[in-house]
Amino acid sequence: MTVVLITGCSSGIGAATAADLAAHGHTVYATARRPETLRDLASKGCRTLALDVTDEQSMAAAVAKVESDEGSVEVLVNNAGYSQSGAVETIPLDNIRKQFETNVFGLIRMSQLVLPGMREAGRGRIINIGSMGGKLTFPGGGIYHATKHAVEAISDAMRFEVQGFGVQVVLIEPGLITTEFAGTAVGSVQGLEDGPYGDFNARVGEATAEVYASRVGKLAGGGPDSVAKVIRKAIERKRPRARYTVTPSASLAI
């Protein structure tokens, strides 16, 4: 049994992972910025906490609560994140900052907060939800993909920095998974109908979708449970791999 703290459990991969881990006997702290969204997970045996990964006080309080109840956070799953699409020229800088605050700085700060406890315990695991979009990019996805490329770099560097303390860092790289995740429809960028990018979808959309499909796998069909299973594997294995790719067409082969 492992003590696991997960960010972004109101829906999708976070909710599926919390439910799956609790069903397999782990002690799960499921968190969300709107704790009222966690009632179903509470009924499935998860402990629930408020946690907004853009709010220092909220992050520190959640980690302190788990540490005071359990000793240390044994596994942190950095899952909270969202996507936005659009041509780089068209996305307001404030929206880009906001996305880095959540997808990148939140993940970094959560890791910084749990590491002292993990070092003291001499063991721990940080599981970062990256993306296949952290390995490649396509027109209209540049900003989201930049955040996920950052997650790749941070995870790969941290893995070596903390392994001497008994802490492992694992990257999960889902392909396109069916969740509430909005605004990522590959090859179809919304809101560009007017202005210089008006023909964006016609010019590059279809070709992009084809390239993505050929490199990442089928575009539809994988649900969040397939990612949850891989995350559980990364937690339960004595020696986890550095990264696990989860595409709908290949998830069963992992």
Which residue in 6, 177, 186, 192 binds ligand NDP (CB under 6 A)?
177
How many Cβ atoms from other residues are within 10 Å of residue 221's Cβ? 15
The secondary element (H helix, E strand) that includes residue 167 is strand 167-174
Query: Which of 211, 203, 68 has its CA nearest to residue 132?
Result: 211
CB of residue 200 to ligand NDP, shortest distance in Å: 21
Q: Residue with CB nearest ligand NDP?
A: 12
By CB under 6 A, is residue 72 in contact with ligand NDP? Answer: no
Q: Which positions from 185 through 224 interact with ligand NDP, judged by CB under 6 A?
A: 224
Q: How far is the C-alpha of 201 from the C-alpha of 207, rounded, in Å? A: 9
Q: Kindly give the pairing relationship between strand 167-174 and strand 124-129.
A: parallel
Which residue in 52, 67, 74, 152 binds ligand NDP (CB under 6 A)?
52
Query: Which of 43, 62, 51, 47 has its CA nearest to residue 7?
Result: 51
CB of residue 238 to ligand NDP, shortest distance in Å: 25
Site string for ligand NDP, 98-127 (x = CB under 6 A): ----x-------------------------
| Residue 32 or 115 with smaller CB distance to ligand NDP | 32
The answer to whether 144 is a known catalytic residue is: yes
Query: Which of 229, 230, 224 has its CA nearest to residue 243?
Result: 230
Query: Which of 115, 124, 127, 104 has its CA nearest to residue 241?
Result: 127
By CB under 6 A, is residue 7 in contact with ligand NDP? Answer: yes
Q: Residues with catalytic annotation?
A: 144
Rule CB under 6 A: which residues touch ligand NDP? Answer: 7-14, 32-34, 51-54, 79-82, 102, 129, 131, 174, 176-177, 179-181, 224
